[in-house]
Structure 1
Amino acid sequence: MIWIIFIAVFAGILIYYRNQGVPVMLFHQVHEGSNVKPKELESYFSYLSENKYQTITLREIDALYKAKQKLPEKSIVLTFDDGYYDNYSVVFPLLKKYNLKAIFFVNTLFVGEAYDRSATTYELADQVNSNLIANYFNSLPTQSTQYFSWEEMREMERSGLVDIQCHSHRHGMVFSNTRFKQVVNVHHVSAGDYFVLNGSVQSGFPLFKMRGELTQAGLQIDEAGKALFKEYYSGLEKQALSKKEKKQKAQQFFTEEFIQQHVHAYSDAEFKARVEKEIAENSTQINTHLSHKKALGFAWPYGHQSTVSLPWIKALGITYFFTCKKGTNARILNPDFIYRIELRKVTAKRLITLTKINSNFALGWLYRWIS
């Protein structure tokens, strides 16, 4: 009898919360070499269109929020981070084909006014971004045809299907502590490596845990400290040590005395100035290049959010904050914390399943809890 009551109550909850959840889906690159294939995305878009899901832009979300109205039932928000060219060449035609809307969060450091697209091919983001940040620290051009242009963004915004919003200017990182992780791998230097090592990257330089530069004040190791560790680590390489032993001995190098002499902890004032500079540059470029634009939304780079920097960003006019935490949202969104759903292995079937789950607020809450 108890089980019958439990099942009946659970069924009632599912029925009550049907179509009351708002999934916010997150994508990055979309091409044959990325983890999101155009065919899979088109199948998903076709499903959304055929099943009459209501895609919505941030401008529309903002208007409803200010009017204290809920988003429509069966609402879904499509978001794409960074601003890759394939979002224009692949995603935008699909949005037009199925009459769907999306929000694109853009890193403005990499954007140029216009490009000749006759020879543009798609490259994977990791290597592209690493090369661009290397250029940044060497005072070389950072605009890239792998990102869409201001001209293309204006075209997308004019369609009414695309809403361009903030994702920071340069998408940077800082060291969050001095717990040794590994040394620089010169065969695969990431954009983050360049940031945390202040552009000075050599084999044997130390790497610690990294965090988005807009979420933590962070640490910086000076050039003398990097050189001293490199010399020390080269000695470890000559010893017959296991990987674990080598890591333990490497960590022992970072004594309190060394940290005091060679590691700079950014102050709260430096942190605040960094955040304000990044967001001001990001939003100003968007508002300047796109007619009648007022950027209102921000997607945390790397999904690293912070309650410390959030009020600083709000003071610059940003109202809506998108995370990478999985789960659904209520039909009146929490502007400070908007859940998004991203898959590493993307298929239309999985996207559809997650959309169904998270369109039910009760099931979406459970998904949020177990994810």
Structure 2
Amino acid sequence: MIITLIILTIIIFLIIIFNKRAVPAFLYHQVNPISNVSPELFEEHLKVIKEYKMNTITISEFYNKEVPTNSILLTFDDGYFDNYKYVFPLLKKYNMKATIFLNTLYIMDKRETEPEIKDNNTVNLEAMKEYIKSGKATINQYMSWEEIKEMYDSSLIDFQAHSHKHMAMFVDTKIEGLTNKNRMEAPELCLYGELEDNFPSFPKRGEYTGRATLIKKEFFKIFKEFYEKNIENKITDKNEILKKSQEFIDENKEYFSIESEAEYRKRIEEDFSENKKIIEKNLGNEVKFFCWPWGHRSKETIEVLKELGVVGFISTKKGTNSMKANWNMIRRIELRNYNVKKFKINLLIARNLILGKIYGWIS
């Protein structure tokens, strides 16, 4: 009993001592009337931050050790137009800072018309359709460089790398199911080249996570023909369908190969260098931080990107960050479905170094 009380006393003491000694980072994507985080909800988050007298800092300020006690990072991935239309005015209203990680393939120079806001899956699918058709993927659902420059010049927003294309790669030839063209998203369209039913669905990860499994596009039509002739409407058991499909895949290994180490490095280096070059050309800043597409991390890719000048890697791993951060993995808390109460609870936990670390371990 005495030992238990001593342990509890020590824990409570540590929690008190380490309160406001962590740097929580929160992750947003879209903020608009049809997304899971509306402008009104986002403003309530900012009011909570103000209520707790927290200091918003950018990722560059964090790295440069410009970190007052009780600091917080607000981060946004991709670069959607609503970040300019809704987020930027609110940040100016409350004089708060943020960092946005950009996918540069989709950003146009100057906006001609204001778009009707769409969900991110629709946005990216439309962009990829145009990319396959014409080689260009700029779309008005993303911010323009003119808008991004305005935000950067305000000194409230830092812009850093999130890959040029933000696409996926196949990582295995073990079939997981079949495609449904009405449910396919941009990464699948990029991999398959078109939207069709009954293509084989294989495991995928973000392009930065290692060597890809390469599949010749003609195989998908060959598989579809085999499936519709020999399996569809003939076999009803799901496991048997997958078994027969896998047997066919294994019999056609000539359509599959594994990317070489040199090919993998070249692909990563080219995509990141393009991402970095375009941001720096348009803003005149220094791109030193990389946010993992899909949140998929790779120790090997960390070493590749460090050779290209990256000093910090931003993840989707939950938890908090010490004031002397682990720059190989900055942790963030995603807020897609958080109401104000949940935001406040997560904020209070994550700004405490001890509670935030425990949160990270159990998440």
Give the letter for the 1:10 counterpart.
I
Residue number among 173, 179, 191 corresponding to 1:178 in the alignment = 173
Partner of 2:299: 307
Check conservation: 1:170, 1:278, Cα contact below 8 A. Answer: yes
Residue number among 267, 271, 294 corresponding to 1:274 in the alignment = 267
Q: Distance in 2 between matches of 1:237 and 1:203?
A: 12
Check conservation: 1:103, 1:163, Cα contact below 8 A. Answer: yes
Does residue 1:150 correspond to 2:142, yes or no? no
State the secondary structure of the residue aligned to 1:247. helix
Does residue 1:207 correspond to 2:208, yes or no? no
Check conservation: 2:102, 2:163, Cα contact below 8 A. Answer: yes
| CA deviation profile, 1:125-150 (whole Å, cap 9, x unmatched) | 10110121122122253111110011
Q: Distance in 2 between matches of 1:240 and 1:249?
A: 10
Partner of 2:17: 16
The alpha-carbon deviation at position 353 of structure 1 amounts to 0.9
Residue number among 115, 137, 142 corresponding to 2:111 in the alignment = 115
Partner of 1:63: 64
Partner of 1:67: none
State the secondary structure of the residue aligned to 1:163. strand
Q: Distance in 1 between matches of 2:245 and 2:290?
A: 38
Partner of 1:94: 90
Does residue 1:284 correspond to 2:277, yes or no? yes
Give the letter for the 2:58 counterpart.
T
Residue number among 300, 320, 332 corresponding to 2:324 in the alignment = 332
The alignment yields a C-alpha RMSD, in angstroms, of: 1.4
Check conservation: 1:114, 1:151, Cα contact below 8 A. Answer: yes
The alpha-carbon deviation at position 188 of structure 1 amounts to 2.0
Give the letter for the 2:116 counterpart.
T
Structure 1 stretches (4+) deviating beyond 6 angstroms?
none
| CA deviation profile, 1:193-241 (whole Å, cap 9, x unmatched) | 12322x2443221120101111121112213422221122112112141
Name structure 1 gaps, 5 residues minimum: 65-69
Check conservation: 1:49, 1:99, Cα contact below 8 A. Answer: no
Q: Distance in 2 between matches of 1:237 and 1:40?
A: 47
| CA deviation profile, 1:94-133 (whole Å, cap 9, x unmatched) | 101111100000000000111134x421100101101211
Distance 1:153 1:344, change over 3 A: closer
Give the letter for the 1:98 counterpart.
Y
Partner of 2:75: 79
Name structure 2 gaps, 5 residues minimum: none
Partner of 1:321: 313
State the secondary structure of the residue aligned to 2:205. strand
Q: Distance in 1 between matches of 2:210 and 2:116?
A: 36
The alpha-carbon deviation at position 286 of structure 1 amounts to 0.4
Give the letter for the 2:323 counterpart.
R
**What is the TM-score of this pair, normalised by structure 1?**
0.94
Give 1:182-201 correspondences, 5 Å limit: 182-197=177-192, 199-201=193-195
Check conservation: 2:166, 2:293, Cα contact below 8 A. Answer: yes
State the secondary structure of the residue aligned to 1:179. coil
Q: Distance in 2 between matches of 1:225 and 1:61?
A: 48
State the secondary structure of the residue aligned to 1:39. helix
Partner of 1:362: 354
Give the letter for the 1:161 counterpart.
L
Partner of 2:344: 352
Aligned length: 361
Give the letter for the 1:29 counterpart.
Q
Check conservation: 2:26, 2:335, Cα contact below 8 A. Answer: no
| CA deviation profile, 1:275-319 (whole Å, cap 9, x unmatched) | 0011100000000011x3111111000001111111211122221
Q: Distance in 1 between matches of 2:36 and 2:214?
A: 33
Check conservation: 1:174, 1:195, Cα contact below 8 A. Answer: no
The alpha-carbon deviation at position 63 of structure 1 amounts to 2.1
Partner of 1:160: 155
Partner of 1:217: 211
Percent of paired sites with the same residue: 37
Partner of 2:220: 226
Give the letter for the 1:275 counterpart.
I
| CA deviation profile, 1:171-200 (whole Å, cap 9, x unmatched) | 011101111112221112211112322x24
Check conservation: 2:235, 2:241, Cα contact below 8 A. Answer: no
The alpha-carbon deviation at position 48 of structure 1 amounts to 0.6
Check conservation: 1:49, 1:100, Cα contact below 8 A. Answer: no
